[in-house]
Amino acid sequence: MHQQPAPFPAEQSRQRAVAFALALTRDTRLAPQPYEQMLLDQFVRGEMTIDQVLSSLETSEPGLPAGGLHFEPLK
């Protein structure tokens, strides 16, 4: 049986976390590209965990530094 990782808090909390991150990166080179935005949308809907999003980014983005991205969980 496939066990899902513990989900991030409820969808509303995920929406707030993503909205905050997007506000910080708006109009910067860190603003998400379409693929990154698609992953964030899946995260907000609860279709992916944050670990799955990061794993997808690390395996599909050749321009990332060694070790990929690292985000600290929101408290």
Per-residue pLDDT of the chain (75 residues; tens, 9 = 90+): 555 555 556 888 889 999 999 999 999 999 999 999 999 999 999 899 989 999 998 887 555 544 445 555 555
Q: Distance (Å, rounded) from C-alpha 68 to C-alpha 46?
A: 22
Quick one: pLDDT at residue 10?
82
pTM, entire model: 0.65
- Left (φ > 0), alpha (ψ -120 to 50) or beta: where does 6 sit? beta
- For residues 21 and 35, is the Cβ–Cβ distance under 8 A? no
CA gap 10, 45 in Å, rounded:
9
Tell me what pLDDT residue 57 has.
Answer: 87
The residue length of the chain stands at 75
